[in-house]
Structure 1
Amino acid sequence: RSPSYLAAQGCWPGRRLQGSPALSPFLSKCGTFPPESCFFSLICSLGSFMVMLVGLLRYAHVIECCGPSLLNTLGLAAGWICAAGLTMVGNFQVDYAKVLHYIGAGVAFPTSMLFVFLQSVLTYRMAKTRGHYWTGHLRSILSALAFITLVFSGVFFVQESFVLQHVAALCEWIFIINVLVFYGTFTFEFGAISTDTFLVLLKASQAPKSYKSDSSTASTPHGHSHSEGLAMV
């Protein structure tokens, strides 16, 4: 229902409609009842897929520019774990599966914060031009803002005050929008992605196998020499 209708009924923002649950500005509460819950699940599932795709493209781009990196691998893992938590948040509504919903939120929010932090560090490590450094500054500001709003959202969420609950909801919305803007900054790097980037990713995934094959090949001559030695004896 629109805010004007709710205000006319005298239930915005703190009161309630007759026979309906209390209104809440939290993101989860806005997607509890149909048809909003259907769109909420659809958007979260689509967003989860996009997070996985962006994380994989970023992982391949960093490998292409700087080679394998532990921070890059951690960033990919954080992004994919965040995607799993986001799927749980979208498909288990808080009023019907509260435990699973909160588990998904507890996974998605911290790992999302870890992802943006790691990507900010990687941006500075990869920076070569002034534009790259400015991108790093922008991402650092977004990461700091995301961290502050996430902490305030968690602190105010556990309070019973009506005003603090709404402040927590506001911080939650700011955190989500802030992270979305952060993902939008990847357009600077993704414009240079080509088929070579995917070939680098494919080679990186096959590196352990090639290493094993090389090791087995290297050990083969020793095996032959050992058998020849036994034959001579």
Structure 2
Amino acid sequence: MNNNFILVHTTILGLVFGLVEGLGRDHSLWIDLLIWFRLLDSTKVASPPSMFMLMLMSVCVCFTCFNRVYNTSCEEPLVMQTGPSLCCTLDNIPLISKCGALPPESCWFSLLCSAGSFVVMLIGLLRYAQVIHRQQNSLLNMLGLCTGWLCAAGLIVVGNFQVDFAKVLHYVGAGLAFPTSLLFVCVQTVLTYRLAKTHADFIAAHLRLTLSLLALVTLILSGVFFMQESYALQHAAAVCEWLFVIVILLFYGSFCFEFRFISADTLVVLMQKGEPHPCQNDCKLVSPTGPSLD
């Protein structure tokens, strides 16, 4: 079966599985991880970055339902609750940060954010070299690299400084990671249109444009709703925040279609410090088992 077909359908199944199974109050993270590692191994998807992003997406979606205070103690209305710790308040909204604030979720949250930041840096660097190899270096290409690495830096800060214990640093990291990730996908969308030559290239460009617009809308709505004191709007902010992250991860996963054609010549570009490649405008990235990409 085609690897791209498997990747898309497994991603959709991962999102559905994470949302449905995560609703159970006694759901085990360890069982979910075991199932998904086995599923990833069975799919044999060609691109390691896409495999990592698929795993990261499925695990992160499950975190939405792991805020135990929110998920297990709201059995009576807020007005009837007593005691020092209340649930169903604005402090218990299942935002990404809140779902990864307490152990053991915080341990996995830090681990995945740190590993994810490394993959983001790697993808940004490979994409930077690939654009030079296929066309030429440009200010826009450099901007894509810089925004990707800034997003990775913000992701490290977000993952290792939980919101309940280091709120200022956490919000600094979030303020760095979210806008730069949006800028990164926008820049890469423009670069995709500039490099597009075949029908498949334009399909990928249209897909990335759609994802970029979705990311823009969800990030704006998340920010607007997050500033409100309304309990319902705070929930809407959490939904938009999770949708934004899912869209960004899907965008990163779309690079698997192009990274399959990375060769040693592409990596040589990095050592040449962006100098023009001999086949700069007529270069064809040839697949080891199929026709050229262009």
Higher helix share: 1
Residue 24 of structure 1: which of 86, 90, 93 is its match? 93
| Aligned counterpart, 1:220 | none
CA gap of 1:194–1:44, structure 2 versus 1, over 3 A, is: same
| Aligned counterpart, 1:161 | 230
1:199 aligns with 2:265: no
Residue type at the aligned position of 1:181: L
| Aligned counterpart, 1:80 | 149
The RMSD of aligned alpha carbons is 2.3
Give yes or no for contact 1:11–1:17 (8 Å, CA) kept in 2.
Answer: no
TM-score (norm 1): 0.82
| Aligned counterpart, 1:141 | 210
CA gap of 1:66–1:156, structure 2 versus 1, over 3 A, is: same
Residue 58 of structure 1: which of 108, 120, 127 is its match? 127
Q: Please identify the structure whose Cα radius of gyration is greater.
A: 1
Larger displacement relative to structure 2 (17-26 or 141-150): 17-26
Residue type at the aligned position of 1:10: C
Distance in 2 (CA, whole Å) between partners of 1:19 and 1:197 is: 59
Distance in 1 (CA, whole Å) between partners of 2:116 and 2:212 is: 19
CA gap of 1:12–1:109, structure 2 versus 1, over 3 A, is: farther
> How much does 1:109 deviate?
0.2
> How much does 1:21 deviate?
6.1
Residue 10 of structure 1: which of 74, 98, 105 is its match? 74
> How much does 1:193 deviate?
0.1
| Aligned counterpart, 2:167 | 98
> Counterparts in 2 of 1:111-122, with a 5 A limit?
111-122=180-191
Q: Give the percent of matched residue pairs that are identical in Structure 1 and Structure 2.
A: 58
> How much does 1:67 deviate?
1.3
Residue type at the aligned position of 1:180: L
Give yes or no for contact 1:3–1:12 (8 Å, CA) kept in 2.
Answer: no
TM-score (norm 2): 0.66
Aligned residues: 206
| Aligned counterpart, 1:150 | 219
| Aligned counterpart, 1:224 | none
Residue type at the aligned position of 1:106: G
| Aligned counterpart, 2:49 | none
